[in-house]
Homo-oligomer: A and B are copies of this chain.
Amino acid sequence: MNKNKKIKAGVVGATGFTGQMLVRILSSHPSVELVYLSSRTYRPVDYSELHPQFKGIVDIPCEPFHLKKASQKCDVVFLALPHMVSMTVAGKFLNAGKKVIDLAADYRVKDSSLYRKYFGKSHIDKKNLKVAVYGLPEFSRKQIATAALLANPGCYPTSVLLALIPLLKEKKIEPEVIVSSVSSITGAGRKAKLEYHYSNIAGNIWAYKPFSHQHVPEMLECLKLLTRQKVSLTFIPHVAPVDGIYSTISVRCKRKMTVSGFLNIYKKYYVNAPFVRFKDVPAQLKNVTGTNFCEIGVNVSADGAKGVVTSCIDNLIKGAAGSAVQNMNIMFGLDETEGLI
């Protein structure tokens, strides 16, 4: 592609785990030119000096955030900022006529009252919250295509929603599910904490926030919107030394079901979804690590009354940077898979 025709992309918050993955994917995307990188924590410096794995791959600087500079350079801005920080800048980019893809939680949930409860702060950009498009590509391609502000789904929600939406829409399962998810510690962000020390993660696993994780309202709202059902969701996230997210979903069937019954539903919904695969054995995380795929596995009890659906993604790719680029592809009329594996 002619360099002048390339999409000019910037990453605000380029030094976190998600930011780095965005840089990695965007830097080898055939239709993108990466033109702007910023970070709140560092002085202007070669990005590859901060992250030496990019030396010879990404040769632009990482700068302190500067709205005007970013706006002038970019056609699209990826916000890989901490929760409740994106909402302080997204509107300004929109006002400058730029497309914004937000990877934080700031524009995912329409009910603005929930932000205080889950993130401790009131929402300060309710106007744009209203128009933001929740970008689960497999279910909202049309809206994504014309979105100016794209709220990229959370990592846990992506793994859970892709497994549940078809089953609920087809009314095959009771709207009461129990989800046990296991995630890489990278999901918690790149911070210096004793809890994230190698010696605390290697060989370890623990549950956290069993009834209060901030992704629950996101899942419930999306399920309600897309399936017209109020779902009862017990969500139990865990941290372990794994390379992605693995969700194990326990469901009860409304009527006797078979594995192929489940798979036929997925086939119907995902025939045109290039990044969703499904199978009649449990999913396996290794199969998606390093890719933008979601793998779904189905098992059903002998009496057809209960199902176990396993669903996994690479939390930094399909759970963040990969799906953000997938959304960008749709927003800019490119092939949905471009630059992604």
Residues of A near any B CB (own CB < 8 A): 17, 24, 28, 30, 52-53, 55-57, 178, 180, 182, 184-186, 190-194, 196-208, 210-211, 234, 236, 238, 240-244, 246, 248, 250, 274-275, 277, 279, 282-291, 293, 295, 297, 299-302, 306, 308, 310, 312, 341
Pick the contact of A190: B190, B197, B293, B308 (CB < 8 A): B197
Say yes or no: A211 contacts B299, CB within 8 Å.
yes
Query: CA of A202 to CA of B198 in the docked complex: distance in angstroms?
Result: 7
Copies in the complex: 4
Say yes or no: B241 contacts A198, CB within 8 Å.
yes
Q: What B residues does A306 contact at CB under 8 A?
A: 211, 234
Most buried by B among A242, A295, A341: A242
Most buried by B among A191, A196, A274, A286: A286
Q: What B residues does A193 contact at CB under 8 A?
A: 192
Q: What B residues does A286 contact at CB under 8 A?
A: 53, 200, 203-204, 206
Q: What B residues does A201 contact at CB under 8 A?
A: 198, 202
Say yes or no: A241 contacts B238, CB within 8 Å.
no
Query: CA of A294 to CA of B301 in the docked complex: distance in angstroms?
Result: 30
Chain B, residue nearest A340 (CB): B28
Q: Write the nearest CB–CB distance from A226 to chain B, whole angstroms.
A: 23
> Across chains A and B, which 7 residue pairs bring their CB atoms closest together, nearest first?
A203-B243, A198-B201, A207-B282, A180-B180, A210-B308, A206-B284, A53-B287
Query: CA of A95 to CA of B160 in the docked complex: distance in angstroms?
Result: 54
Most buried by B among A28, A210, A291: A210
Contact A199:B17 (CB < 8 A) given known A211-B299, A241-B241, A250-B236? yes
Q: What B residues does A299 contact at CB under 8 A?
A: 207, 210-211
Of the A-B pairs whose beta carbons lie under 8 Å apart in the complex, a sample of 15, sorted by A's number, is A52-B284, A53-B287, A53-B288, A203-B242, A206-B285, A206-B286, A207-B248, A207-B282, A207-B283, A211-B306, A211-B308, A238-B248, A241-B241, A241-B242, A250-B250
Say yes or no: B246 contacts A206, CB within 8 Å.
yes
With contacts A24-B341, A198-B202, A207-B299 known, what are 12 further pairs, Cβ within 8 A? A53-B286, A53-B288, A53-B291, A56-B275, A190-B194, A190-B197, A200-B286, A204-B286, A205-B240, A240-B240, A240-B242, A290-B290
Pick the contact of A207: B210, B297, B341 (CB < 8 A): B297
Query: CA of A337 to CA of B83 in the docked complex: distance in angstroms?
Result: 38
Chain B, residue nearest A193 (CB): B192
Q: What B residues does A279 contact at CB under 8 A?
A: 52, 55
